[in-house]
A and B are shown apart, each in its own frame.
Chain A
Amino acid sequence: MLLIHCPWCGPRDESEFGYGGEADIARPPDPDALSDAEWADYVFMRTNTKGRFKEQWVHIHGCGRWFTLVRDTVTHEHGEAGVFGGVEPEADG
């Protein structure tokens, strides 16, 4: 089981978290301009990196908040969690 550091709650068991897959998949700014292939790329295609991979987790059985993690998909080593929108955990008190 992974030990995941929630930016707000600290280290908790993986079973407290929900997984959100690859991070930084941005919705296209002008959806009408996209071809079918470009839509398929946005909706379905994934980088699925072997190695350091930026992903999203949600502390679903805890504070309920989303954050990002850069985790190695071979060793499971990961560093500090990141937060969306630049909100620092400390600032949230």
Chain B
Amino acid sequence: MQRYSIFSLARNALTGHRNWPQAWRSPAPKPEYDVVIVGGGGHGLATAYYLAAEHGIANVAVLEKGWLGGGNTGRNTTIIRSNYLWDESAAIYEKSLRLYEGLSRELNFNIMLSQRGVLNLAHNEHDLKEMARRVRAIRGNGIDSEILTPAEIKKLVPAINVSKDMRYPILGASLQRRGGVARHDAVAWGFARGADDRGVDIIQNCEVTGIDRKGGRVTGVRTTLGPIKAGKVGVVVAGHASVLADMAGFRLPIDSHPLQAMVSEPIKPVLDCVVMSNAVHVYVSQSDKGELVIGAGIDSFNSYAQRGSWQIIEGQMGALVELFPVFSRLRLMRSWGGIVDTCPDASPILSKTPVEGLYFNCGWGTGGFKATPGSGWAFAHTIARDEPHPLNAPFSLDRFATGALIDEHGAAAVAH
């Protein structure tokens, strides 16, 4: 791997940038691997990277049916935060945020992490009380969080409307200053390059069509490029977890829904933190290109089509212009949809399964991007040791039988 640095940049500039090597190889699949990872999004690539980097397991293939990061990794609104209520969630999301903080250096790939702060607005008395409880819980877990008054919000975000004659006036907010955004594609590409450098085969345009089992144990996968044997298989396919579980003969507590996001035309810098409102249903940040990046809740119906309905966009635009009247004359440039796998308790599943040697990492719902490195780190441990790390043990599939659910509906960016 050619390291990226000011010197390699200068050297390649002298030759007109014609001699940069490819960031990763595109090998044909081998007949057999120690571990096959299904899904080449951020979480899958992170899993492969940490398998090689932390556990010395490099005879690994990542199978991606499309292109790297072409699913939800490339469709989210790039927000990173760890302000979760329950200890179990706080631990894994904070692990992820800490990995993010060192990731550009670790991967030698600029993921453009910008810790610009994430602001969660409160619009009524109940919101304020719930927020105070939440901030205390978060701080109790050693994670930064603070409460702002409307005057302090206005100082931080001058464009916001804090007047009392809004339909849902802003009464306060919680702020996680270490939260922010990162370049989503770069996270996938950085992990891909790092994994490839350690010997992982990354195979794109290879769709898994079946999971082979013998005597209750996984033996490999069938793909559009032929069968591949595997000692262990890790499935990390946001938006299709139920489909893959069906191939392995069991069901998941998951419903798949469209989640839409959109960007405005680019404008000059106007918003330098992330603003979220659970109550009026919108979240917004401004990208480095100047576009406002906007999202809200899922479409209600089950779907595998990567598109959603118009009224969902209309609803969040109403919320956005109420919070920021100055945005009312902006035009939307693009909108798109991804498919999110939602769990009944709004928490993910990182778990062993009824099939030996088969592991699932799924159910991140609307908020998986922020968890990418932590998820991959814990899932790699789960696969390598055949047992969950304490960080992801609470997120096992059997919590739905034991009743030990981790209810994080309140931690979502917007209510679902």
Interface residue A80 (Cβ < 8 Å from any Cβ of B)? no
Interface 9-residue window, one of B153-161, B302-310, B324-332? B302-310
- Taking a contact as CB atoms under 8 Å apart, the answer to whether B253 and A44 are in contact is yes
In the bound complex, do residue B255 and residue A36 qualify as a contact, i.e. CB atoms below 8 Å apart? no
Per-position binary interface string of chain B over residues 251-274, scored 1 when its CB falls under 8 Å from any chain A CB and 0 otherwise: 111111000000000000000000
A-B contact count (CB 8 A): 72
Interface centre among B252, B304, B402 (most CB of A within 10 A): B304
Q: Which residue of A lies closest to B310 (CB)?
A: A1
Q: Which of B267-309 contact A (CB under 8 A)?
A: 300-305, 309
Count B interface residues, CB 8 Å.
Answer: 23
Shortest Cβ distance from A18 into chain B, in angstroms? 7
Q: Are B305 and A44 within 8 A (Cβ)?
A: no
**A9 contacts the other chain (Cβ, under 8 Å)?**
no
Knowing A1-B309, A36-B401, the reply to whether A41 touches B303 (Cβ < 8 A) is: no
Is A37 positioned at the interface, with any CB of B under 8 Å from its CB?
yes
User: Given contacts A15-B311, A76-B303, is CB(A21)–CB(B240) below 8 Å?
Assistant: no
Contact B402 A47 (CB under 8 A): no
Inter-chain CA distance A76–B258, complex, in Å, is: 12
CB neighbours of A41 from chain B (8 A): 251
Q: Which residues in A have their C-beta under 8 angstroms from that of B240? A: 50
Closest to A51 in B: B304
Known: A47-B242, A55-B302, A74-B305. A21 touches B401 (CB 8 A): no
Which residues of the other chain, B, contact A49 by a CB distance below 8 angstroms? Answer: 242, 302
B304 / chain A contacts, CB cutoff of 8 Å:
50, 73-74
| CB-based contact A1/B311 at 8 Å | yes
A81 to B403, CA, bound (A): 35
Binary contact readout A75-88 vs B (1 if CB under 8 angstroms, 0 otherwise): 11000000000000
Does A40 lie within 8 Å of B401, measured CB to CB?
yes
In the complex, whether B67 has a CB less than 8 A from a CB of chain A is no
CB distance from A69 to the nearest CB of B (A): 10
> Is B243 positioned at the interface, with any CB of A under 8 Å from its CB?
yes
A residues near B309, Cβ cutoff 8 Å: 1-2, 14-15
Q: How far is the CB of B184 from chain A (nearest CB, A)?
A: 25
Residues of B within 8 Å of A36, CB to CB, are: 401-403
Instruction: Name the contact of A45 in the complex, choosing from B243, B253, B256 (C-beta under 8 A).
Output: B253
Decide if A47 touches B301 in the complex (CB within 8 Å).
Answer: no
Instruction: Pick from B252, B311, B401: contact of A14, CB below 8 A.
Output: B311
- A27 at the binding interface (Cβ < 8 Å): no
Q: Is B400 an interface residue (CB 8 A)?
A: yes
Contacts of B210 in A (CB 8 A): none
- Cα of A37 to Cα of B230 in the assembled complex, Å: 29
Do residues B301 and A48 form an inter-chain contact, with CB atoms below 8 A?
no
Q: Mark A16-30, 1 if CB is under 8 A from B, else 0.
A: 001101100000000
Residue B231 lies at the interface, judged by CB distance under 8 Å to chain A = no
A53-B302 contact, Cβ under 8 Å, with A45-B251, A45-B252: yes
Residue of A nearest to B341 (CB): A48
Picked from B242, B310, B403, the residue with its CB within 8 Å of the CB of A48 is B242
Partner of A44, one of B242, B243, B300, B400: B400
Task: Give Cα A53 to B257, complex, Å.
Answer: 13
User: Does residue A66 face the partner (Cβ distance < 8 Å to B)?
Assistant: no
Q: Is the CB of A37 within 8 A of B301?
A: no
Name the residue on A nearest B311 (C-beta): A15
Complex CA distance for A14 and B309, rounded to whole angstroms:
9
**In contact, B401 and A18 (Cβ under 8 angstroms):** no
- When the two chains form their complex, are residues A18 and B300 in contact, meaning their CB atoms are under 8 A apart? yes
Instruction: Supply 15 further A-B pairs (C-beta < 8 A) apart from A36-B401, A37-B401, A48-B251.
Output: A1-B309, A18-B300, A22-B255, A36-B403, A40-B400, A45-B251, A46-B242, A46-B255, A50-B304, A55-B302, A73-B256, A73-B304, A75-B305, A76-B303, A76-B305
Provide a sorted-by-A list of 23 A–B residue pairs whose CB atoms are within 8 angstroms. A1-B310, A14-B301, A19-B300, A21-B255, A21-B302, A22-B302, A36-B401, A37-B401, A39-B401, A40-B401, A44-B344, A45-B251, A45-B252, A45-B253, A45-B400, A46-B253, A48-B256, A50-B304, A55-B302, A73-B305, A74-B303, A75-B305, A76-B305
Interface residues of A (CB under 8 A from B): 1-2, 13-15, 18-19, 21-22, 36-37, 39-41, 43-50, 53, 55, 71, 73-76
